[in-house]
Chains A and B, each alone.
Chain A
Amino acid sequence: MLGVMMVYVCGAIALIASVPQDNVRLLKYITYIISAFACYCIWSVVDMFEESNGYFQMLITMPWIKKLGIHLTFALDGYALWSVILTLIVTNIAAMLVCEWKSKGLKNQLLIVYILQAMLFWCFSTLDALVFFILFEAMLLPMYAYIVIWGGEERIEAGWVFLVYTLSGSIGMLVALVYMGVVHNSFAWQSWADAPLSLQVQSYYFIALSLAMATKLPIFPLHGWLPKVHTQASTSASMILAGLFLKVAAFGYIRWILPIVPDASRLYAPYMVVLAVGSMMGMMLVAWAQEDIKRVIAYASIQHMAWIVLAFFIGYLGSDNIMLYGLLDGAIMQIFAHGLVSAGLFMAFGMMYQRTYRRDRKAYGGFARIMPLLSGWFMVLALANTAIPGSLNFVAEWMMLVGIFHVEPWVGVISALSFLLSCTYTLGLYNDIFYGPVTTQHVHKDISTTEGSLLTMLVALILILGFFPRPVLESIHATSMVMGPYIYRSKLV
């Protein structure tokens, strides 16, 4: 099935590339066909995936540079499966949204979206460190183009910040990966995970990779680029950025740091926990004080990504592995859940922005009267952002919270406060946008059927999986049972 998906991601790019630039109708239909095929891919990959088997499945491997031991190895485990599915969902919805709005340079936008889809897909499913690194860096370029060409008024600066800042975060990563590859004479995940390592080497590796991931995730002191970039990026770029790019970094932690250097992770866990908790609380307060609506959503995503880091690292402070596996489950669920919710929030706001071209919250008011349909969907998404029970986010945050309380109740108390504060800024935003008297005279139309159905897809997924999370959890938990021993062990020489 992975082979079919490979063909799908390449075929999507080829199909879009082969359509002439000015044929908007054809582009639209082809996007729909690609999306339909993505649905088929998701359906059948979930169908064929063995839930009870937590190890890598559907292995594809071919040699690339034999002398250096680099292979193009792709496989899925429970973690990768749901990240890949998230990729397919978010990119296709973003593509359909672009088609619906018929914005300028439609073909090139679609091309970028589908190139990003392919890169993200490979990045989530690869088992070769160098391939991961190359994709991790290379996907910045199409996104850079997306921001600089289709962005807002300060797009050049934002694109520059995005490219240079995140690239410079990962300087050390290349060195660390090459060093590890030379030491192990291989770049394969399994051989890295199995070989013992001294604590010193582990620490260097941890710091180098952590810097790259923490910049992109982003965690508290390195998060400066995200709000700027989000405000300047177009709606679909924001969706992919918040929904997928940040998740790649979180995924990098669980695949390329924690199982490879567990001792160093244990060593630095307390600091990461402090950073994550600080990030969570601080970003919530900062989000509350933002005037720019896109910045509110951007800070909200920093806050929710901090949950993931917290869950990853607090496990090292505790014992009793069964409880700790719940933390991993929750973190991966959060990757999936927040990917859907943040993409949904950016999309829903984008629908308003498309009509008003205003980002400051003072420009809005009384939109429940003008856009009743959107107000309903936005409500669900906003509540999912606050982890209301019944949303997928609640499943994730609940599982993480139980684990956190098990390990360290005080950290649990602080992170439980996020249920309160996230409600403050999210519903405060909702109050400002949708309630109150109508302020604008220019907006008359509610969302169109296509926009509505795109939102409905996301909202339905969030709600259905929130009430019935077992299909997702089953495979994730099986993988946690396999990955957990890798993550919470010691592999010193």
Chain B
Amino acid sequence: MSELLRLTVYVMLLSPLVAFLVIALMSRRVGASGAEAVSIVMGAMSLLMALLLWYQVIILATPDGYATIYRWVDYEPSRIVMGIWVDHVSACTALIVTCIAWLVQIYSIGYMHEDVGYARYCALLSLFIGSMMVLVMSSNMLEMFFAWEIMSVVSYGLIGYWYEKKSATDAAFMAIIVNRIGDCALLMGIILWRLWGGSWDIADILALPLHAPILQGLRADIVVGLMMVGVMSKSAQIPLHIWLPAAMAGPTPVSALLHAATMVAAGVFWAVRYSQIFILSPSLGGILMTIGAVGSVYAAARACVEDNLKYIMAYSTLSQLGIMTVAIGSGAYTLALFHFYTHAFTKALLFLVIGRISLKLDHQLSLSAMGGLLWRMPLMACIMLCAGCSLIGIPPFSGFWSKEGIIFTLLAHKTWLSSGCGIMLMGSGGLCALYMLRMWKHIFLGTSPGYVLHQGTYYTLLVPIILLTPVSMGIGAYISTRCYDPLYWHIAATKEMLEHSIALQYYMQMFFTSSAYVGPQIVYQGSIIEQYSAWLLHGINTLSLHDMASMLSLCSIVCGGLCAWHSQRIMPYMDYPIRIYRTFFPTPKAIYPFIASELYTFSCRLARMDHVIFYEGIVSHVTGIIASITQRLQQYTQGSIGVYITHVLAAIGISTFAVVLQYYGGSM
């Protein structure tokens, strides 16, 4: 790796971390405005460096590179070298993360400035971004796990930022506990992967041949299953999703970051990074697909019935994460990453818009208290509509490119499971149209229920939104059209990933249909996305499957839109998908507190037993016996001759007996 590249990455990683340290250690001296300045300058620095990195890696096509930072532990078996790994995936992701993060930081100036703990907020936000950057750039699994864990801890601090509110602290606690479940599994997966023959270094993992004979059968299932649980907890998949809606108790900019570029993205990123491992267990891929598809539809249905704006957004994120998970399960890692990019921009934009609207309405977040804002905030209405279209997947907005890619790939796999998932994702797209348009309609149309708009324009709120809008709208088309040129969009190891995808399809058919048929549709020289874009641009009739997919999606979206228009009449029926889901999956909201309270009751009983048996039982008795022995011994100090003589005689007797036993014991 060239010196310049290494320096770039170092500065990019260090600037948010330095910002955190400076604010944390000198918050009293620098004050709130100083903290703000430090975090924003360092964020800008990080963004600049990410741009430079992107330029070098993508435009100048620097080969993948590795650099050592320092050795953490030197001895087998846990020889760990902290380093950085630069390739197309990390460069692109780093750019997207820093870009969104910096805009959110600017937005926070206007949104959070008057808050009491603003310096703490800046520090935590910087650490959050810094740990995400480390996660993106890290060169081995354990380093990634470091960043992964620190991120969950910081999210604890950020979700519980308003710590005097019980809802906020409970949500923070829940977030970190649910994440810990995943972290625990992930840690086991990491260790078992190494002990059963793998390597922790990304370079080694990427260099693994397809069908690597490292793990097979049950061992592969165990390792992949454990990592999967980790990914599911971070990326909030059923049944580990409950922390994400609850995390809405935090400030809105935090939600924007949490849902777009950092926290939930980390899970997807992990799966993409270690796709070579995930591919080893095709059967679990099928389970992951199912979980993702069901979660996607369920969350979308939930979003349709929610009244609180932030909750709608939370469930919408869950729904979109479900789509990414389906892509991961089906082996389309490139597309999962692509959807993560487009969704990150769109969702960040939506959160920023919502934050601005709610700030104007004095932190009002309830849909029923809004209405008729169209002519008061025309720009916001316009931007929100565009972002909504992107989220729904209406061409040519960016969400369309990634979502259609995923649905199409699923249909192209031609197994009943992947087709079923594809169809479910179409349904979720329709529901997405429903809740987005319903939300838009409720905010901007209709009559105003009587509120007072806050006067004054916060430019710091407006600027990030306006900067984000074109990027958010155009990134999908940009990436899709550029993908012809491998220099522009060539996710590392695309070829391998395609091969994986085929291999997976093969396995899936072995597992689910028992036929060895490998669909010829996607056996091409390029990536799936290349092929897909080619079909889009060079005539729709190339593949009838694609026609079908597009039409079905479009139908679903139109239906959703129509329903949104008549949402008042449709709403009562929206309970059905949720009810169906509930009949199959018991609600985790009831299960987790139940488990927790049962466990706590058990612990209380255990604690009482512990005290009764081990303190009052063992300890008191032992000390009591010794106390009574000492009292007995006291009689020797009182000079009564009779006691002395009896005891001396007894002692002589016992020792004689012992001597006799010693000498004759053997012969008896």
Footprint of B on A, CB under 8 Å?
160-161, 164-165, 168, 221-225, 227-228, 282, 285-286, 288-290, 322-323, 325-326, 329, 366, 368-369, 372, 376, 379, 383, 388-390, 395, 398-399, 401-403, 405-406, 409, 412-413, 416-417, 419-420, 423-424, 427-428, 431, 434-438, 467-470, 473-474, 477
Contact = CB atoms under 8 A, between A and B. Distances in A.
Interface stretch (B68-76, B88-96, B404-412, B472-480): B68-76
A82 to B, nearest CB: 16
Contacts of B156: 427
Contacts of B157: 379
Given A390-B146, A435-B160, A473 B615 contact: no
B191 A402 contact: yes
A224 B618 contact: yes
Contacts of B71: 470
Nearest to B117: A372
B593 to A, nearest CB: 13
A412 B619 contact: no
A388 B153 contact: yes
B626 interface: yes
Contacts of B160: 435
Given A224-B614, A423-B177, A399 B619 contact: no
A473 B75 contact: yes
A230 to B, nearest CB: 12
A431 B169 contact: yes
Given A221-B618, A224-B619, A437-B164, A416 B188 contact: yes
Interface stretch (B324-332, B437-445, B597-605): B597-605
A374 B642 CA distance: 66
B72 A469 contact: yes
B194 interface: yes
Contacts of A164: 622-623, 626-627
Nearest to A438: B164
A137 to B, nearest CB: 15
A67 B197 CA distance: 57
**Interface size class of chain B, counting residues whose CB lies under 8 Å from the partner chain:** 35 or more
Contacts of B173: 427-428, 431
Q: Which of B71, B75, B194, B622 has the most CB of A within 10 A?
A: B75
B150 to A, nearest CB: 6
B463 interface: no
Interface stretch (B179-187, B302-310, B450-458, B505-513): B179-187
B188 A436 contact: no
Contacts of B579: none
B164 A388 contact: no
Interface string B143-162: 00110011001001100100
Contacts of B493: none
B652 interface: no
30 contacts: A160-B623, A164-B626, A224-B614, A224-B617, A227-B615, A288-B603, A289-B606, A366-B163, A368-B163, A369-B163, A376-B24, A388-B153, A389-B145, A389-B150, A398-B78, A399-B73, A399-B78, A402-B78, A402-B194, A403-B77, A405-B192, A416-B184, A416-B188, A420-B181, A434-B163, A436-B164, A470-B71, A470-B74, A473-B73, A477-B74
Q: Is the interface of A mostly helix, strand, loop or mixed?
A: helix
Contacts of B195: 402, 405-406
A362 B464 CA distance: 44
Contacts of B191: 401-402, 405, 412
B610 interface: yes
B188 A405 contact: yes
A436 B74 contact: no
Contacts of B77: 322-323, 326, 402-403, 406
Interface in B603-649: 603-604, 606-607, 610, 614-615, 617-620, 622-623, 626-627
A164 B166 CA distance: 46
B529 interface: no
Nearest to A220: B614
A221 B603 contact: no
Contacts of B166: 436
B626 A168 contact: yes
A285 B602 contact: yes
Given A390-B146, A395-B73, A416-B187, A409 B192 contact: yes
B622 A168 contact: yes
A453 to B, nearest CB: 12
B150 A161 contact: no
B136 to A, nearest CB: 17
A455 to B, nearest CB: 13
